Amino acid sequence: MASLTLRQHIQHFLDHLEALRYTRETRAHYRGNLREFVQWCDERGITMAQQVSFPQLESWQQHRVAQKNRHGRPITASTVIKKLTSVRHLFRWLVKRQHLRYNPARELELPRRERRLPWGLLSEPETRQVLAMTGSDNPLSVRDRAILETLWSSGIRRSELARLQLSEVDLAGGMLFVRQGKGRQDRVVPLGESARHWLQHYLNDVRPRLVWGKDPDYLFVSQHGRGLTDNSLTQIVRNALHRAGIDKPGGCHLFRHGMATQMLENGADTRHIQAILGHASLESTQIYTRVAIGHLKAVHQQTHPAEREHPAKGEADAEPTP
């Protein structure tokens, strides 16, 4: 039997991940990362796993680090780590299955992970402006308003919203059941009154008109009655931002980041935010405390000498005490 090519090994590896019940999103990340890797190998005449050496992997790593994202900025360390981890996992599997005797990726070092602040956050007034500009003049507008309200109220991820099914929504109890979120963890998140109102409107008056034939059971569906894709949700959010005149990069995560920051500004406990967002580590949630600086601004204004020389307008206009 002829030896399998690198591409064939990759397909078998992806089949292995599916057999282990890796989530669809995780498998998609592996598939995309490994597709980039095998294309890079093809361009250099590397078609067999046995041809891959450690120096070649280092060269590929340097190539990845030099990449730019679609905004023309260098890709983040987290993105590089995900790409390298996919390749390291592949070669570890090849050795375990005895397709290779030596793992050339074993000594591949991962860059240090950055703890970047979320950028392009939506303030509360901006969020309300986006919602107000997504009205109820047609059925799809009602659906889109329900989507935006759900994102802001629950803080769930785009992929989690796309997978959300009718049976996982408890409007009476004000809860969403997020099944197999990131890290394959289930969680229950609260759903506020405004989001419940728009979801009820959508479920009663819009969704029955969108579903044709067999019901896909997804909460949010397209005008053709099928479940919305991740990209469709992003476009809905981008369109809403454009209508509101808000020029900030990002999509669904703007509402997730905004919700976390706004709740912290209003006194929410970090661990409660962690539970809502589904963060495995409190460290991931604590990054929002570095952008929720409303209380710091107040202290700065009250105590900084330069600010005390220029009091706020209300203070400046106040009558002096006799």
At 55-113, the pLDDT tens digits run: 999 999 888 887 777 767 777 777 888 899 999 999 999 999 999 999 999 888 887 76
**Residue-wise over 248-282: b if at least 16 C-beta within 10 A, else e?**
eebbbbbbbbbbbbbbbbeebebeebbebbbbeee
pLDDT of residue 273: 78
pLDDT of residue 287: 61
Res 114 pLDDT > 50: yes
Which neighbouring-strand residues pair with 188? 177
Res 294 pLDDT > 70: no
Res 12 pLDDT > 90: yes
30-48 pLDDT, tens digit per residue, is 999 999 999 999 999 999 9
The rounded mean pLDDT for the chain is: 83
Among 205-214, 267-276, 285-294, the range scoring the smallest mean pLDDT is 285-294
Per cent of the chain over pLDDT 70 is 81
Res 319 pLDDT > 50: no
202 is catalytic: no
Q: How confident is the model at residue 272 (pLDDT cuts 50, 70, 90)?
A: confident
Q: DSSP letters along 124-190, please?
A: HHHHHHHHHTS-SSSHHHHHHHHHHHHHHHH---HHHHHH-BGGGEETTTTEEEE-S-TTS--EEEE
Q: Which of 89, 253, 257, 297 is catalytic?
A: 253
Q: How confident is the model at residue 322 (pLDDT cuts 50, 70, 90)?
A: very low
99 is catalytic: no
Domains of the chain are 6-96 (1.10.150.130), 124-294 (1.10.443.10)
Q: Which of 157, 158, 163, 257 is catalytic?
A: 157
Better-scored residue on pLDDT, 302 or 54: 54
Q: Which of 30, 202, 218, 288 is catalytic?
A: 288
Among 1-5, 199-203, 247-251, 290-294, the range scoring the smallest mean pLDDT is 290-294
CB of 14 within 8 A of CB of 27?
yes
288 is catalytic: yes
Residue with tokens 């050339």: 104
133-191 pLDDT, tens digit per residue, is 987 778 999 999 999 999 998 888 898 999 899 999 999 998 888 886 665 678 888 88
Per cent of the chain over pLDDT 90 is 42
Q: Which of 92, 182, 201, 238 is catalytic?
A: 182
